[in-house]
Chain A
Amino acid sequence: MTTMNEGMAMTSGARGVRSKQALLLVRPTIRTIRWAALLGGAAAAQLVLWAAKGELSKGGPIPLLPMRLAAVLLCLGAAFVLDDDAGATVEAAVASLMLRRGLRLALTVPVVGIAWGAALWAASRLAASGRGTGSVAPPSLPVAGLAIEAAALLGVTLAAGAVATRSLGHGKGGVAAGPTLLAFVMAVLSLGRYWPLFPAASSEPGWAAAHARWALILVAATIVLAAFSLDPARRWSILRRRWRPQTHGRLVRASRAPVAGKP
């Protein structure tokens, strides 16, 4: 009972230390994030929407292509979020890769969310500006559907960045993540007639099915991101523990055996 209490006290103590470490890491992490790319992506997203002002304010069903282009541009800006030029140096630090990446995502995903919200607001304002004061209510943006699409695209980008960082090294994941996102979008467009993911309007019959697929893509991307955010050494030690042969007991017994009759 005493041992269990001591164990629980140690665990809560360790958690307290981890929380303090995370708080101490916030300011240095903010300094290492490439905010210029993120803000550049957000600005490009707004630019695309304003450039499509004529199309959005035309009346009738709201075209979704400008919002999708804005989502892709936002995700291209977010592709460099996981890049850490000092990644190789801090690999040996106490804070795990999962904690460091989690901190980066906790600081940047809300910013991406705010930029996306601003894009949706701008698009809805532009769409409303072209409509007269008729008796028929203007169609609204399918916010939930577009948000799932944007979240899935962001998930794909970050997962690609995590995989690329593992393959190419720290600070280089973003270079591969952006092109991977574009390749994914091109693949979706090429094979769209067999696996539609970009329906033209929320009133189309395949809208719900398409967004169920987007949700699956988001889940898969999150799993890949989490898997590639485990410390490589820790990952291999988990695997090694499973298939290592049981020689530990024999070694302990052998080490205790007297040598040449000595105790």
Chain B
Amino acid sequence: MIAIGDLHSRLDEVASRPGQARAVVTLARVEGRRLIKHPAVVITVALGIVQTVLFLLSSEATSQHDVGWLLQFSALLISFGALLAANLQASKSRRDGSEELFRSAPLSPAARTVALALAAVWLMAVLTLLLLAGDIAIRAMGKGARSDSGAALFPLFDLVQGPLVAGLFVLIGIAVARWLSRALAGPVAIVGLFAVGNVVLKAAKSAAWFRLTPFDPTFLNDGGALAAVHAVYLAGLGAIVLAVALIRHGWARWVRALLAAGLVAATVSGAFQLAS
């Protein structure tokens, strides 16, 4: 005799939708571990550590008391490495020709893009720890050297802005990979960002729009409100870049909502920074 009742209950189990959110988080964990172990990230972390140690051991550390630029330069270097690593990871399936295989998996391409974006959290956590260690090393060396935050225990602005910029660069790498799956696109994007950054650094620091860049020194003297607004601004930019990456897979309602939220956050916080 056939157990019809058992067969129907099993059909219900098979037909139920898989837990997308849990799958995305699991994939994000796997991609995050791969991201922080990628050679591009490892090499830039090593470069940042080496140049920091060499400077702190040199006699220049005694004459130059304000060495906060060491942490900022290292964070920017690691951000560039993270951009390249994320770009190569995100474009790998299209370069290898295995994209069709991935499309047969339960997770949609948009969900995989979100998982890659969430993997940036791992890198941001590692960068936060490295910046903390760097600040402790600067203070431990003595010689009067200190980071930009001066008397504060930790360079709070650097600890917030550094990881946020790294996360933004990861999202840029993913967006470039989604639209241009060529291996050349990531390195060219890095050179382009470097050129833009160089133009920004050479511009007049008194210009109002300088507040929108990570290099404005007025954040340091502020009590924290301006730094918080700048963090919201960076998060808004990140939402815009992620939405641009997701648009590649279609104009879903939630993607439009994410783009709108990012534009509102970036515009409002940018206006606050310019007005203050």
* Interface residues, chain A, with chain B CB atoms under 8 Å away: 37, 40-41, 44, 48, 51-52, 55, 65, 69, 72-73, 76-77, 79-80, 174-175, 178-179, 181-183, 186-187, 190-191, 193-194
Query: Is B88 a contact of A190 with CB atoms below 8 Å?
Result: no
Considering the complex, give the chain A residue whose CB is closest to the CB of B84: A179
Please give the distance in Å from A164's CB to the nearest CB on chain B: 11
Query: Is B84 a contact of A77 with CB atoms below 8 Å?
Result: no
Contact code string B173-201 (vs A, CB < 8 Å = 1, else 0): 00000000011101110110011001000
Query: Is A65 a contact of B187 with CB atoms below 8 Å?
Result: no
Q: List residues of B (152-211) whose CB comes within 8 Å of A's CBs.
A: 182-184, 186-188, 190-191, 194-195, 198, 202
Listed stretches B1-9, B47-55, B126-134; interface member: B47-55
Query: Is B183 a contact of A190 with CB atoms below 8 Å?
Result: no
Query: Is A190 a contact of B47 with CB atoms below 8 Å?
Result: yes
Q: Answer whether residue B264 sits at the interface, using C-beta atoms and an 8 A cutoff.
A: no
Number of A-B contacts (CB under 8 A): 72
How many B residues touch A, CB cutoff 8 Å? 30
Query: Is B51 a contact of A191 with CB atoms below 8 Å?
Result: yes
Q: Answer whether residue B77 sits at the interface, using C-beta atoms and an 8 A cutoff.
A: yes
Please give the distance in Å from A150's CB to the nearest CB on chain B: 14
Which residues of A have CB within 8 Å of B182? 37
Which residues of B have CB within 8 Å of A186? 43-44, 47, 77, 80-81
Please give the distance in Å from A91's CB to the nearest CB on chain B: 21
Q: Answer whether residue B27 sits at the interface, using C-beta atoms and an 8 A cutoff.
A: no
Which residues of A have CB within 8 Å of B183? 80, 174-175, 178
Q: Answer whether residue B95 sits at the interface, using C-beta atoms and an 8 A cutoff.
A: yes
Query: Is B191 a contact of A190 with CB atoms below 8 Å?
Result: no
Which residues of B have CB within 8 Å of A79? 184
Top-10 shortest CB links A-B: A178-B187, A190-B51, A175-B183, A190-B47, A76-B187, A183-B43, A37-B184, A179-B84, A182-B187, A69-B195
Task: Name B's interface SS.
Answer: helix
Give CA–CA (A186, B194) in the complex, Å: 11
Query: Is A72 a contact of B191 with CB atoms below 8 Å?
Result: yes
Which residues of A have CB within 8 Å of B43? 183, 186
Please give the distance in Å from A52's CB to the nearest CB on chain B: 8
* Interface residues, chain B, with chain A CB atoms under 8 Å away: 39-40, 43-44, 47-48, 50-51, 54-55, 60, 73, 77, 80-81, 84, 88, 95, 182-184, 186-188, 190-191, 194-195, 198, 202
Give CA–CA (A46, B65) in the complex, Å: 41
Give CA–CA (A80, B183) in the complex, Å: 10
Query: Is A182 a contact of B198 with CB atoms below 8 Å?
Result: no
Give CA–CA (A181, B95) in the complex, Å: 20
Please give the distance in Å from A28's CB to the nearest CB on chain B: 23
Query: Is A44 a contact of B188 with CB atoms below 8 Å?
Result: yes
Query: Is B40 a contact of A183 with CB atoms below 8 Å?
Result: yes
Give CA–CA (A52, B198) in the complex, Å: 11
Query: Is A175 a contact of B51 with CB atoms below 8 Å?
Result: no
With A48-B195, A65-B198, A183-B40 as contacts: A178 and B48 at CB distance below 8 Å? no
Give CA–CA (A174, B183) in the complex, Å: 8
